[in-house]
């Protein structure tokens, strides 16, 4: 057999996986990823405390000052497994590859959604509950700057401008915005003073990659599994957020036992179990360079 227990994903499948994840995850689209060692990586954030100094000829130089804030990006393990017929073991190599490519495609979709849910909300995507492994390493916990909108999202453009003002006030730049479909719809409905659509590119469900020159991504993960009513997150995704994979992605073809604890023996049901794992980590380097737009009930509950 060309596939043994405990092998690794083929490099071609790994490349395809990462490409598909980047295409479906808001965080992966708005920020760049870098490989992370299995034992983690310490990332330093440097802050120059003063401006540059003009020095006269033979003049005295003064101390500018610099702050150094280390943060460790520790990859966590995620996994996905599925039972399939044991006919896989007797199929030709070509057919096996087709099955693994289909599994890889589905795994990429789950990983891309999972990255957002974990890093945005700190949940275990399978249960929807807060993960003790992730702890407070997520946007909902670290990003305290927020702009509240009344239910109905009547003035989404005003909320965006307010969020930008908040981030700029913390000396942050704006590189992108992630928003949920309801917020996209609210923007599409907003009219200018002449009654024309303010954002015509959003008509009929369109979700362009940029609006007014700003990189944007529309994704349900902004509000899914979230109790804080997040509708959009805006800020410096290019510099203030980092994420990445550990390079190798283990994949197992399991022929015996009950690997998913379902109570069904694989041999007893003529099945095998395909399990893939990935190790990924992230860090919110400067939470003050982001702002969350949330939806809240009006006073009196109306």
CATH number at residue 111: 3.30.2320.10
- Domain presence at residue 253: yes
Question: From CA 202, how far away is CA 217, in angstroms rounded?
Answer: 12
pTM for the predicted model, two decimal places = 0.82
- Domain presence at residue 63: no
DSSP states along 273-291: EEEEEEEEEEEES-GGGEE
Question: From CA 119, how far away is CA 281, in angstroms rounded?
Answer: 9
5, HSE (Cβ side, Cα atoms, 13 Å) = 6
- Domain presence at residue 51: no
Retrieve residue 157's tokens.
């453009």
- Domain presence at residue 57: no
Retrieve residue 127's tokens.
């249960």
Question: From CA 294, how far away is CA 151, in angstroms rounded?
Answer: 9
- Written as tens digits, the pLDDT of the chain (302 aa) is 333 334 556 666 666 666 667 668 999 899 987 767 656 665 655 566 667 667 776 667 676 666 656 666 778 889 999 898 888 888 887 888 888 888 888 888 899 999 999 999 999 999 999 999 999 999 999 999 999 988 877 789 999 999 999 999 998 999 999 999 999 999 999 998 898 999 999 999 999 999 999 999 999 999 999 989 999 999 999 989 988 887 667 788 899 999 999 999 999 999 999 888 888 889 898 999 999 999 987 665 44
Which helix (H) or strand (E) segment holds residue 294: the answer is strand 290-296
> For residues 17 and 104, is the Cβ–Cβ distance under 8 A?
yes
Which helix (H) or strand (E) segment holds residue 234: the answer is strand 230-235
Q: Classify residue 163 by its DSSP letter.
A: H
Question: From CA 300, how far away is CA 91, in angstroms rounded?
Answer: 65
- Domain presence at residue 2: no
- Domain presence at residue 19: yes
Retrieve residue 288's tokens.
């003050």
The total domain count for the chain is 1
H helices, E strands: number in the chain: 7, 12
- Domain presence at residue 157: yes
Retrieve residue 75's tokens.
């990859």
- Domain presence at residue 62: no
Retrieve residue 180's tokens.
């949920």
Domain span at residue 228? 11-40+72-297
């Amino acid at each position: 057999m060309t596939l043994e227990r405990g092998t690794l994903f083929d490099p071609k499948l790994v490349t395809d996986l990462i490409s598909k994840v980047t295409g479906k995850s808001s965080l992966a689209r708005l920020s760049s990823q870098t490989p992370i060692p299995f034992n983690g990586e310490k990332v330093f954030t440097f802050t120059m405390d003063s401006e540059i100094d003009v020095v006269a000829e033979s003049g005295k130089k003064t101390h500018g000052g610099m702050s150094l804030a280390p943060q460790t990006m520790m990859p966590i393990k995620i996994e996905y497994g599925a039972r399939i017929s044991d006919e896989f073991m007797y199929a030709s190599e070509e057919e096996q590859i087709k099955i693994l490519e289909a599994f890889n495609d589905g795994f990429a979709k789950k990983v891309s959604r999972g990255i957002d849910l974990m890093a945005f909300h700190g949940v275990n995507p399978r249960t929807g509950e807060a993960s003790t492994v992730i702890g407070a390493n997520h946007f909902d916990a670290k990003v305290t700057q927020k702009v509240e909108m009344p239910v109905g999202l009547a003035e989404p453009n005003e909320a965006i401008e307010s969020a930008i003002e908040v981030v700029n006030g913390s000396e942050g730049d704006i590189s992108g915005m992630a928003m949920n479909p309801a917020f996209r719809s609210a923007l599409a409905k907003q009219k200018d003073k002449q009654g024309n659509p303010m954002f015509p590119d959003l008509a009929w469900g369109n979700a362009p990659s940029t609006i007014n020159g700003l990189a944007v991504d529309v994704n349900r993960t902004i509000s899914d599994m979230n109790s804080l009513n997040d509708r959009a997150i805006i800020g410096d995704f290019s510099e203030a957020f980092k994420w990445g994979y550990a390079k190798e992605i283990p994949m197992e073809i399991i022929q015996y036992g009950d690997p998913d604890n379902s109570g069904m023996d694989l041999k007893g049901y003529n099945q095998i179990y395909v399990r893939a794992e990935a190790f990924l980590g992230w860090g919110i380097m400067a939470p003050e360079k982001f702002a969350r737009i949330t939806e809240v009930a009006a006073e009196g509950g109306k």
